[in-house]
Chains A and B, each alone.
Chain A
Amino acid sequence: MTDVKPRVRVPKTAEVDEIIEIKTLIRHPMHSGRVIDGDGNTIPRQIITSFEAKFNGDTIFSVEIKPSVSANPFITFPFKVTEAGTFEFIWTEDTGEVFNLSKKMKVE
C-alpha cells in the first residue's frame, strides 16, 4: 500500500486584504473500485471522500470528492487574508482514516 502523504503550500507571510492562493496535494491512489489488476482481481475501492480547510478554527473551504477526481488529489483555492493565524487541512478517506496538516501564516 502506498503511503498517503499530504502536502500544502501557503505563503509564510502575507498582507492584510491580499488574496493568496493555497495549493494542496495528497499522495493517494484514489482506487475507484473499478480497476482490475494483472491477476484479474478487482482493486478494492479506496478514495479520499472529503477535504476541508480551516483558518483559526473556522471552515473556509471544503470539497466533496468522488472517484472521478484523479489519483493524488490536487486542489488549489484562494483565501483573503485578514489576520495572522493557523490553517488546518483535513482529508478524510472512505475507510474513515483522517489525514491532517497545519500551516502558520504571519501578517506583515
Chain B
Amino acid sequence: MIQQYLKSVSRRKAISIFGATAISMALPWQAHATVDAVAARINEITGGANVIDDLISLDMPDIAENGNQVNLSFEVDSPMTADNYVKSVYVFADGNPDSDVAVFNFTPAMGACYATTRMRLSKTQNVYVLAALNDGSFAKAEATVKVTIGGCGG
C-alpha cells in the first residue's frame, strides 16, 4: 500500500514535500496566538461589558483549501442611523501569529453594515468578529475554519 503510494508520488513532488517540511521545521519561532489571547483582546475592548451573540452573521468557508486567501464576509443587523449604528467591527484569529486581523470603522453614511475581505489563516482555527455599537454595547460571532494548506508562509 505504502509502496504503491510512494510510486505514485513523482520525484519532483517528493522533493517539494520534503522541502516544505524542512522549511516549516526551520521556523520553530513562529509562535501563534491562542484562544485565551483572543478572549483577552475582546475583554480589553469591551471592558468586560456584556456581549450578545446574535446580530452578526458571519460567512466563512467550513474548509479552506488555501489558507492564503480565505473569504471573510460579515453583516451586522443595524439600521445605521445617526442614533443607532455600528462604530467598529474587529476581526480576530486565534491560530495566526498575530491574533489581530483587521478593524473596520463604519459610519451611518454607509446605510448598511457589512464588509467582505480575504484573510490568511496559518492553520485550522477560529475566527471571531466583534462589533462595537455607538451605544456602548457589543455583539460577536465566531466560525471555525479547517485549513488544508496554511497561509502564513509556514
Q: Which residues of A contact B (CB under 8 A)?
A: 19, 32, 34-36, 55, 58-71, 73-80, 82
| Chain A residue contacts of B153, Cβ below 8 A | 32, 34-36
Contact A75 B115 (CB under 8 A): yes
- Nearest residue in B to A60 (C-beta to C-beta)? B109
Of the candidate stretches B10-18, B98-106, B138-146, the one touching chain A is B98-106
A29 CB to nearest chain B CB (Å)? 11
Confirm or deny: B41 has a beta carbon within 8 angstroms of a beta carbon on chain A.
Answer: no
| Chain B residue contacts of A80, Cβ below 8 A | 80, 109-112
Inter-chain CA distance A32–B97, complex, in Å, is: 10
Contact A74 B115 (CB under 8 A): no
Contact A63 B110 (CB under 8 A): no
A36 CB to nearest chain B CB (Å)? 7
Contact A68 B69 (CB under 8 A): no
Contact B117 A66 (CB under 8 A): no
A62 CB to nearest chain B CB (Å)? 5
Contact B109 A68 (CB under 8 A): no
Taken residue by residue from 114 to 139, chain B's Cβ proximity to chain A (1 for < 8 Å, 0 otherwise) reads as 11111110000000000000000000
- Nearest residue in A to B90 (C-beta to C-beta)? A64
Q: Which residues of B contact A (CB under 8 A)?
A: 23, 26-27, 30, 68-70, 80, 93, 96-98, 100-107, 109-120, 151-154
Contact B100 A63 (CB under 8 A): no
A103 CB to nearest chain B CB (Å)? 16
Contact B107 A59 (CB under 8 A): yes
Contact B102 A68 (CB under 8 A): yes
| Chain B residue contacts of A67, Cβ below 8 A | 97-98, 120
| Given A67-B98, A68-B119, A77-B104, 11 more pairs with CB closer than 8 A | A34-B97, A66-B102, A68-B98, A69-B101, A69-B102, A69-B118, A76-B117, A78-B110, A78-B111, A79-B111, A80-B111
| Chain A residue contacts of B104, Cβ below 8 A | 61-63, 77
**Of A59, A69, A76, which one neighbours B119 at CB under 8 angstroms?**
A69
Contact A70 B102 (CB under 8 A): no
Contact B23 A36 (CB under 8 A): yes
| Chain B residue contacts of A34, Cβ below 8 A | 27, 30, 97, 152-154
List 29 A–B pairs whose Cβ atoms lie within 8 Å, in order of A's numbering: A34-B97, A34-B153, A55-B109, A60-B110, A61-B106, A61-B110, A63-B115, A64-B102, A64-B103, A66-B102, A67-B120, A68-B93, A68-B100, A68-B120, A68-B152, A70-B69, A70-B117, A70-B119, A70-B120, A73-B117, A74-B116, A75-B115, A76-B115, A77-B114, A77-B115, A79-B110, A79-B111, A80-B109, A80-B110
